Amino acid sequence: MGRINYIYNDKYLFTVTGRYDGSSVLAQGNKWAFFPSAALAWRMGDEAFIKDLNVFSDLKLRLSYGIVGNDVVPPFSTQANMRQTAYDWDGAPAFGYAPNNIGNSELKWENSEEVNLGLNMGFLQNRITVDLELYHKITNDLIQNVALPSSFGFSSVTANVGKLVNKGIEVSLNTVNVQKNNFRWSTNLNFSSNHNEILELYGGTVERDIANSLFVGHPLRSHYFYEYDGIWQLDQAEEALKFGQVPGSVRVVDQNQDGLISAAIERDDRVILGNQLPSWIGGMTNMFSYKDWDLSFFIYTRQGVMLRNAMLQGTFGELGSPRYNRLNLNYWTQENPTNDYFGVWQPNPFRQAIQYKNANFVRLQFITLGYNLPKTALSRLKISNARFYIQVDNPYFYVNERNIWMDPEFNSGTFRDDVPFSAILFGLNLAF
C-alpha cells in the first residue's frame, strides 16, 4: 500500500492511494487485485472572493474516486469438500464420505467503483453547519450465496452474480439555536436517500433469477409474489369459484387476465411488490443545557420499506390452529365482511400475499436527563467531574397497523427478541 498527500497554499489538497490486496478465500488465480483511489479538496472559504461575500464561515469542496474490494465469504468457499456419512454394512455400522458442497474455482474479488462529491458549509461563525454528500457507486462481480435447483444435489453455491448500482445523497445539518449565558440548545438533523438497482446478472445472460430474488432493473432484496387485492366477498362467490376459491379467501390480481393465477413462466402472475431497502432515512437529535442540567432526545424514521411480516407468517397469524395465542385480527366472517384479514376456515392458497406490509416507522429512541455536580463540591473530593443521569430507551414508536407488528425494524416475529421494549436507566459518570 502507498499514499501521497500534497497540499498547496493551505487551500488545495490532493491525495492518491494505491493498494494491492490478496485474499486466501478466493479462487486460485483470482486472489490478488489492485485498488486505487484519488481525492481533491478545495478550501473555498479561504479564497478572497468568497470571504468578500460575508456569507460563509467555512466552505470546502471535495471530489473523490476510488475502487474497493470485498472478499467476505466463508473460508474454503471455492473448494469442494467431503462430509462423513453413516451406513449399514450388512448389519454392521460403517462410515463413508460424500460430497458436501459445490466449490467455485472462479470466485473472485467483488469490486466497487465510487465517485463522491462533498460540500461542507458553515454560517454565522459555524453556528449553522451543513455537510452534503452525493455518491454514485457501481459494484461489479457482486458476491452472493445463490440457491441452486434441487437437481444439482446441493442447495446453494457462493458465486459472482452481477453488477449493481447505488447512488444517493446524505445531508447533515447542525445548528446552535440558542446560545445565552446559562442556556444552550443545539440540533442535529440528518437525511439519507439511496437508490439501489441491479444492472446485470450472470454476464447479461438473464434478466431475472426468481429463486434468488434477483431482478435486473430492481433493487436487491425485492419481494416477488402475487399482488394482494382484498378478500373475496359474498357477492363475488361466482367469480371466486372460477379461481377455485370462496368468499373469505385471499384475492390476488390476475395480472395477465387469463382467468388463472399461475406461477408458470409463460403466464406468471407474480410481480415485484416492493423491497426491504428503505427509500430514505432521517433523524433528529436535540440537546439542551441549563447551568448544570442537560436534556437530550433522539427521534428517527425509516420510510419506503416493505417487509414480509414475520408475525403474520408465523404461528401468531395462523387462525386455524387452537394451539397458539393469536393476534387480535379483524378477520373475515359472513357477519363481518372485511378486507383486512382472511377467514378462519376458508381455503387460502394465496394467503402469503397479505403478509407483505408497509414497514415504515417513526421511533423516539431515547430521552436523557442529566445533572452535573458543581465543581466546588467536587474539588474537596478530588473528583474533576460527576454526572448523574436518567435515560428512557424506546419510549415510543409509531407504525401503521400497530396490531400486526411487534417491531418492524427487526421483524423477527418472536416475543423474545422483537418486543418494542422500553427501559429506564440510571447512571453515574465520574472523572478523576
How many C-beta atoms lie closer than 10 Å to residue 310's C-beta?
20
Choice between 131 and 410, residue whose per-residue pLDDT is larger: 131
pLDDT of residue 103: 86
Number of domains within the chain: 1
* pLDDT at position 151: 79
Q: Is the pLDDT of residue 324 over 90?
A: no
The CA distance from 418 to 365, in Å, is: 15
* Section 25-29 average pLDDT: 92
pLDDT at 218 (0 to 100): 96
Instruction: In whole angstroms, give the CA distance from residue 361 to residue 399.
Output: 5
According to the model, what pLDDT value does residue 412 have?
Answer: 66
Q: Is residue 174 part of a domain?
A: yes
In a domain, 378, yes or no: no
What pLDDT was estimated at residue 314?
Answer: 67
Asked if residue 369 is part of any domain, the answer here is no
What are the tens digits of pLDDT across the range 55-81? 999 999 999 999 999 998 888 888 888
pLDDT at 403 over 80: no
Q: How many residues does the chain have?
A: 432
Which phi-psi region, left, alpha or beta, contains residue 91 (left: φ > 0; alpha: ψ -120 to 50)? left
What pLDDT score does 415 carry?
46
- pLDDT of 326 reads 60
pLDDT number for residue 321: 53
Q: What whole-number distance in Å separates Cα of residue 297 and Cα of residue 287?
A: 7
Per the prediction, the chain carries an average pLDDT of: 90
- Which pLDDT tens digit goes with each residue over 325-348? 566 788 899 999 999 889 888 888
pLDDT of amino acid 384: 82
* Whether the Cβ atoms of residue 127 and residue 175 lie closer than 8 Å to each other: yes
143 contacts 181 by C-beta, under 8 angstroms: no
Confidence of residue 416 (pLDDT cuts 50, 70, 90): very low
| Residue 414 maps to a domain | no
At residue 360, what is the residue type? Answer: N
- pLDDT over 70 at 419, yes or no: no
Is residue 323 predicted with pLDDT exceeding 60? no
354 vs 321, residue with greater confidence:
354
pLDDT 10s digits, 265-276: 888 999 999 999
Burial class of 180 by CB neighbour count within 10 A (0 to 12, 13 to 18, 19+): exposed
The answer to the question of residue 57 being in a domain is yes
Q: Confidence class of residue 317 from pLDDT cuts 50, 70 and 90?
A: low
**Rounded CA separation 382/281 (Å):** 45
Q: Which residue has the higher pLDDT, 149 or 262?
A: 262
- The contacts found for 150-156 with CB under 8 angstroms, 24 or more apart, are 152/102, 153/99, 154/99, 154/101, 154/102
400 is a domain residue? no
Q: CA-CA distance, 119 to 172, in Å (whole number)?
A: 11
- 142-157 pLDDT, tens digit each: 999 888 887 788 888 8
What is residue 134's predicted lDDT score, i.e. its pLDDT?
A: 98
Question: Hey, what amino acid is at 258?
Answer: D
What CATH number is given to the structural domain containing 117? Answer: 2.40.170.20
Q: Residue 429 in 3-state DSSP?
A: strand
Q: Is 55 among the domain residues?
A: yes
Alpha helices in 335-404 (DSSP H): 375-379
Reduced to 3 states (helix: H, G, I; strand: E, B; else coil), residue 403 is helix
DSSP 269-295: --EEEEESS-SEEEEEEEEEEETTEEE
Which grid cell sits at 420?
A: 418494542
Confidence of residue 418 (pLDDT cuts 50, 70, 90): very low
Q: Which of 234-238, 372-376, 389-393 shows the lowest mean pLDDT across its residues?
A: 372-376
- Say what the pTM is: 0.86
| Residue 167 exposure: Cα atoms within 13 Å on the Cβ side | 9
CA-CA distance, 65 to 39, in Å (whole number)?
6
Burial 226-264 (b: 16+ CB within 10 A, else e): bbbebbbbeeeeeebeebebbbbbbbbbbeeeeeebbee
- In a domain, residue 22? The reply is yes
Q: Please state which of the ranges 109-118, 128-137, 203-212, 377-386 shows the lowest mean pLDDT.
A: 377-386
Is pLDDT at 417 greater than 50 in this prediction? no
Cα Rg of the chain (Å, integer): 29
Strand partners, 204: none
Dihedral through CA 103, CA 105, CA 110, CA 111, nearest 10?
180
Range of the domain at 4: 1-75+108-220
Q: Which amino acid is at 208?
A: R
